């Protein structure tokens, strides 16, 4: 599997719930646009009408409890549509794509959290999306206590079906993200997500430089 190897640049934001990925994605997009770049911001699961329809299925609180493999296939299906109809075309025209969550979320949640093997998840990604990897993956890390406080402010009406899983699940997710970042240090930058949005943004800009 290789990086996007196209003209544009592909940046993914990863991390657990409440780390501030969406805020940082917005700030990064603004900074890159101020440099005159063509920037596309998007998210997973979702980003295209087809993938958003799968997102609604996956994250609804009254969704059925799919077996782990079915859940992984649904995320991979959403990603296949997203990559084919939005991400690849944007990279090919030279845009910078900033994606809130991507493949490493499947590896961390369905793999680390749900128990599927990393090799199987990478196979699904190869079949669905030609193995497209980000040029840079920003892993935002935050201690679980602080993340909970931020989530309490954001999700006053409660977490979604996956966000609401138990602490042991989320702990396995966090450990998996750190393992990937250590093993693939060329593609990852680990960013301390503590502090103000401006402080975290400054850390991201220096990682980018």
Q: For residue 139, how far is the Cα from the chain centroid?
A: 9
Task: Give the side-chain half-sphere CA count within 13 A for 8.
Answer: 22
Binding site for ligand TYD (CB under 6 A): 17, 21-22, 43-45, 59, 75, 101, 105-106, 109-110, 160, 162-163
Shortest Cβ contact with ligand TYD: which residue?
109
Judged by CB, which is closer to ligand TYD: 90, or 162? 162
Judged by CB, which is closer to ligand TYD: 94, or 152? 152
Contact 38, 98 (CB under 8 A): no
Residue 66 and residue 76: Cα distance in Å, rounded?
14
Residue 158 and residue 16: Cα distance in Å, rounded?
16
How far CA 50 is from CA of 25, 54, 81, in Å, comes to: 22, 7, 7
Contact 141, 104 (CB under 8 A): no
Judged by CB, which is closer to ligand TYD: 8, or 18? 18
In angstroms, give the least distance from the CB of 206 to ligand TYD.
23
In angstroms, give the least distance from the CB of 58 to ligand TYD.
7
- Whose structure tokens read 């845009």? 95
Judged by CB, which is closer to ligand TYD: 44, or 81? 44
In angstroms, give the least distance from the CB of 114 to ligand TYD.
8
In angstroms, give the least distance from the CB of 45 to ligand TYD.
5
Judged by CB, which is closer to ligand TYD: 24, or 105? 105
In angstroms, give the least distance from the CB of 7 to ligand TYD.
25
Q: Where are the alpha helices (DSSP H) in the chain?
A: 21-34, 49-59, 68-82, 88-92, 103-105, 118-129, 144-154, 167-183, 197-208
């Amino acid at each position: 599997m290789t990086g996007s190897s196209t003209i544009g640049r592909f940046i993914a934001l990863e991390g657990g719930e409440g780390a501030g990925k969406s805020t940082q994605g917005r700030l990064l997009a603004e900074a890159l646009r101020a440099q005159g770049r063509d920037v596309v911001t998007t998210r997973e699961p979702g980003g295209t009408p087809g993938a958003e329809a799968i997102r609604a299925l996956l994250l609804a609180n009254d969704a059925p409890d799919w077996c782990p493999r079915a859940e992984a296939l649904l995320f991979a299906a959403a990603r296949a549509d997203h990559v084919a109809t939005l991400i690849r075309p944007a990279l090919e025209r030279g845009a910078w794509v900033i994606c809130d969550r991507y493949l490493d979320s499947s590896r961390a949640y369905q793999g680390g959290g749900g128990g599927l093997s990393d090799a199987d998840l990478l196979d699904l990604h190869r079949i669905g999306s030609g193995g497209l990897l980000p040029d840079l993956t920003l892993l935002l890390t935050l201690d679980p206590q602080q993340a909970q406080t931020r989530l309490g402010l954001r999700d006053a009406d409660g977490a979604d079906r996956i966000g609401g899983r138990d602490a042991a699940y989320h702990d396995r997710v966090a450990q998996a993200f750190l393992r990937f970042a250590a093993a693939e240090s060329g593609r990852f930058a680990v960013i301390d997500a503590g502090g103000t949005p401006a402080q975290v943004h400054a850390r991201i800009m220096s990682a980018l430089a």
